[in-house]
Structure 1
Amino acid sequence: MTIDYRKDIIDLMQATGSDPQSLKQSMIALKIISKIYNQAVLGNPPENKNEVVKIAEKADQAVKNEPEIKTENKLENKTEIETKKENDENTVEKIKPKKTKEELEKEKAKKEEAAKALSPTVLKNKNKYATITPIPKPVVKKIIPVAKPKEKQYEIRRKLLGAEAVDENGHSVQYFNEHLTRIEKLENGDTVTLLDHLNDSGNRPIIKVEHHAKSFAPDEEIIEFGPAVVHRDSFGLYIKQDSNGKKLSQVNPEKAILYLDMNTVSHFNLHENDLISIVWRVSDPSFIRVRWRYAEAEVTIPEKKEKPDKNKETEKHKTKGRHKSLLHQLEKKEKQSSEKQNEDYASRIDFDLDKKRVTVVVGDKSLTSNLAKVIEAHNGVARIIEMKQASNVLRACKESNYVILIQSYIKHSISQILINSPHKSYSIAMATTAGQLAVEKALYRARYKLNVTDNDQIQYPFLVNN
């Protein structure tokens, strides 16, 4: 048996008031309806219809026994239901109780008081922004001032190449290469102001440079020689004087001529007639470094003006005659030099080699055949060897007491091996040319273990007659 109780439940809910007694009675009625429904669904209906009728009558009786206050509520609810049924389905409205005049006046007074507290602009835009999301309050961000980068002063110390900034404890803070050193004109003793942070290249930016150069310490004094002109011979690139004609031997006691190694030539891209600057410390004049290669715009060398030849002959027969006379003079000089080679050499410097063995190392023996007479004039045993490879040079000079190098006729690598060998048992000196007097001076320096190269500070004991 299926019971349709939906209409009864709707009527029951609409007749239920908000007081506790009405709610309690409606709960009892719902329990009765649920019991009837459960019995019907579970297939255990009442044994006869009289029981169902009795349960329904009990529910009706409970509803009828509701107090009078609730009866008024039921009548009002019934009125609302009847009104809804009469109206159109899409325009169903609930009947609300009307407010009294006193309540309306109170609400109006409250609105007027609230309106007085608002500004005219807010009142004007009240309806405009009524349905719009309220404008958020502006957020005032605190601006934190950026701290200024810290600056610090350091002292400049000039190096052979470049310069470095040191702190008060003498610790190196930053190195400046030679290019930047010359741009900022940094000299020993200057004060430089640097930022405390590093830039993209990993260096501290320079803020200010104060120039007040001071002298070097005695053991750190640096001498710069240049601009020096680069020359070329069969052994490579070398320098021996600056652009003003001042010789290297006048300022450096260890070097009369400086051959440039291949690493330096490649690094500075050096060529013949280039201008460079070299440096060394006073405490170690043999250790020379190339500091700078000048651009063409940096240094201008005054060109020597050649005097015009007023007696220049333009005729062909006069030119031929002069060439013949020159050839005759050259032949005469060659005969005189060959005759002089056979004569004994007259020594000019007073010293004795005491029968010691002297080895002269050259690149071509045919150009130095008269050097043996210089050694014999000073009571020495001469031995001239031709050496073009550096591999056997130490073995060839092993049993010599003195070794003389002819700079113009020997490779730079050979001379460096002989000079810098830690196991050498000989005394060595270098003559710039193959002239007899230059070799005689080199023999004197080797005999008394003086400088390898000649300089103006050496006092030779020249013989009065010569």
Structure 2
Amino acid sequence: MEIYDYRQELIDLLENTGSDPHSLHQTLRSLTAVVNILNHYNGHSAKPNYDHDEKPHHHRYQTHQRNEHPLSPAARRTLHSLLTGPSDQTEKPTPTKAAPVKIPTATKPEAPQEISATERLAADNRYLVHRKLSGAEINHHYYPETILHQLHFPVEDGDIVELDPHQLVRRLPSIRRVTSDHLDDYKPTRIKVIAYAELRPVPGSDVLQIANTMKGDSILDQAPANTIVVDPFKYPGRNLKAGMVIDFAYFDHGNGLKDASAGSIRWIHEKQDYDTTRQPVKPKVVKKVINTKHDYEKKLDYDLKQRTVLVITGVRDKVQGLKPVIAKHHGVFHGLDASAEEKVSSSKIKREIRDADFVIVCIDAIHHRISQLANHHAKRYEKPLAIANVTSNTVVERAVARALNGDPAYAVSSEKLN
């Protein structure tokens, strides 16, 4: 009797079985059918007797027995097809009286795990902010402090920010906004910032120190003995020198100056950002408005008291119509034409903002870079800034009111814009 050598096909079947439940079930079903076929023919066949002069071959061998019952061609084809790969057939051979071979039962698939709060946020491109002493980690990416300083809003530890995967900044998804959501089980790390502290030399040493701030609102300003040593060798590439003004951040664990001494430099300010020799602004003579074509009726009640309002817009034909808005509230109007983005440099925006008392940015017709620069320089000079979605009298008037009252830069969504 010639017995079909099915070992290689059996090996191929097991090697090609995937780890997914469907593939495992198909392989289990094929093996069950194979065992049933072998049990069936084993019941009709006698044990093989080898001749003394014959030896079995490596792959196939011949046997002789008294009652030969070879596999039929149909059975052999069925056995071969079952061993060469998983099969979708559902019919099983009829079991015989031969002893059955036990087949391990397949385990049931585990129930799906509950979706976490972080995964639900990620479905809407929202992620938790892990703020560092310098920069932040968002969605397993590190955002340097330079990117965070260019935003129109602060980003703190524990905030939920919305990312824009289609707009990249330094190969990172841009931060679109900070949402009002927070995770209930997340406890933000308390980080304090010593802002606008001047580096001073330590006599007889190569290190520097900070002892007070320009705002006078830090732990260093509480006592003359409170100082923090800054080692320039810990910040390679920064080229730290005496006279520089820095922001120094530290984790506040309730240990006062001990925690502050273990902090790190977050930001180095430019010299023009903290110019203390600035001369007082000379009062400007308000010219009487002669053109009545753009006459404007005052709708909100506030007094600018002759302070200067800088309006940055890219709609040139509406600039003249904005002057009566500021004049009705006893303010001095100053407009910056940003319609040609290539002609508006960072130094020009910086100079205009330095000489203004309030900054209004109309974002409907200007480049994104200009609005970022305006926000950046307004922060440095501590100038109130408000955003107008469109260049119109009503929207600009309300933006000036927000800047005057210290309200958020953007208008609330429920506010009607005429």
- Band of TM-score, shorter chain: 0.3 to 0.5
Structure in which a larger fraction of residues adopt helix: 1
State which structure, 1 or 2, has the greater radius of gyration over its C-alpha atoms.
1
Task: Tell me the TM-score normalised to structure 2 length.
Answer: 0.34
Identify the structure with bigger relative contact order (alpha carbons < 8 Å, sequence gap 6+): 2
